[in-house]
Chain A
Amino acid sequence: MIAEASSATQAPSRFRAHHFETAEQQYAASKLGMWLFLVTEVLFFGGLFVAYAVFRTLHPEVFMNSAQLLDTRLGAINTVILLFSSLTMAWAVRCSQLGQQRGLVICLSLTIFAAIVFLGIKGVEYSHKWHEGHLWASQYSSGDAASVGGFDRAGTFFSIYFAMTGLHAIHIVAGIAAIGWVLMRSLRGDFGPNYFTPVDTVGLYWHLVDLVWIFLFPLLYLIG
């Protein structure tokens, strides 16, 4: 035992499980487990990207015309917001590694705030599409169909749009919950230089959600 151990930055971690040889081994094992989960996430979204590619190569003009109905400005703003949240998340990991409790709480709060703003903007986009009738498959009904050519299959584009952005939005919600959990634990002072695994692994998940959006934004909003 360390006699002068008083703060989280000095003490050995209370969270080290007995079946690990060292704290570092526990950390590396947790991280590997998170990466294995992220592999399944990449494959999960991969299936939707394949559906996107099949329909886009068969009907390129449908995608070009339908994409005009998306708001590029809102999509770009949301991209910047997610990139910012990735920055604050990476910074949160840094704070936890250095034992900076206040910085950690601030960075995690900023990340959650950015995630909520992202969902808010997504909600504005969705409700706009709902009112315009720009919906999935046979639900697609819009008065402007005649004014812009090639809209017969616009429902196909919007099926893919809602499936991909919807699944992504669900991941944002899950991310808010996970980061909220890490935030609660960081308020309790659980994390420091010798134990920051949850901050790091939840961070990895959050960056993956950002990675998916990095591909979704140009593929959905910036066609044609």
Chain B
Amino acid sequence: MNNSSLPADEQIHSHVSSPQQLISIFVALLGLTALTVSASTWPVGRFDVWIALGIAGVKAFLVAAYFMHLRYDKPTNSLLLLFSVGVVVLFLGVTLADVHQSEPQVQAAGLPQIPASEAAP
């Protein structure tokens, strides 16, 4: 907010979200929540998790960009968030690749393993 009666170094200039913007983001988030609930019943087989993650990703983007003001912030803050998400994706990708590479050998060797679900009747 600009407050002309104060010296410049006492003022903070930052983006103030308008009520219209806050409400429309909230309504969009509600709509996407309804969409993800209904999407869980669609007959898409194994793609359901990707649809769920896609919708959650859009919701996360709306919250981060508008409620968390990243769109109006210094880019440093956005970079930090992207960096942390990137590290989690790397962690996830490498771990899953490793688990699925080694699981057959683990089972073949009869080593202690995560019990196979196929054992269930």
- B6 contacts A2, CB within 8 Å? yes
A-B contact count (CB 8 A): 193
- B67 contacts A57, CB within 8 Å? no
**Could you say which of B26, B96, B114, B117 contacts A83, with CB atoms under 8 Å apart?**
B26
Of A90, A97, A149, the most chain B CB neighbours within 10 A belong to A90
**Could you say which of A27, A50, A215 contacts B14, with CB atoms under 8 Å apart?**
A27
- A42 contacts B88, CB within 8 Å? yes
Q: Is A117 an interface residue (CB 8 A)?
A: no
- B6 contacts A12, CB within 8 Å? yes
Looking at chain B's contact residues, is the secondary structure mostly helix, strand, loop, or mixed? helix
Known: A150-B120, A210-B63. A35 touches B9 (CB 8 A): no
Encoded as 1 (CB less than 8 Å from any B CB) or 0, chain A from 48 to 78 comes to 0110011111110110000000001000100
Known: A61-B117, A80-B33, A218-B56. A90 touches B95 (CB 8 A): no
Q: Please, could you name 11 A-B residue pairs with CB atoms under 8 Å apart, sorted by A?
A: A21-B9, A54-B96, A84-B26, A87-B26, A87-B67, A93-B17, A97-B14, A98-B16, A207-B64, A211-B64, A219-B49
Contact surface of A with B, Cβ cutoff 8 Å: 2, 4-5, 9-10, 12-13, 16, 21-24, 27-28, 31-32, 35-36, 38-39, 42-43, 46-47, 49-50, 53-59, 61-62, 72, 76, 79-80, 83-84, 86-87, 89-91, 93-94, 97-99, 149-153, 193-196, 200, 203-204, 207-208, 210-211, 214-215, 217-219, 222-224
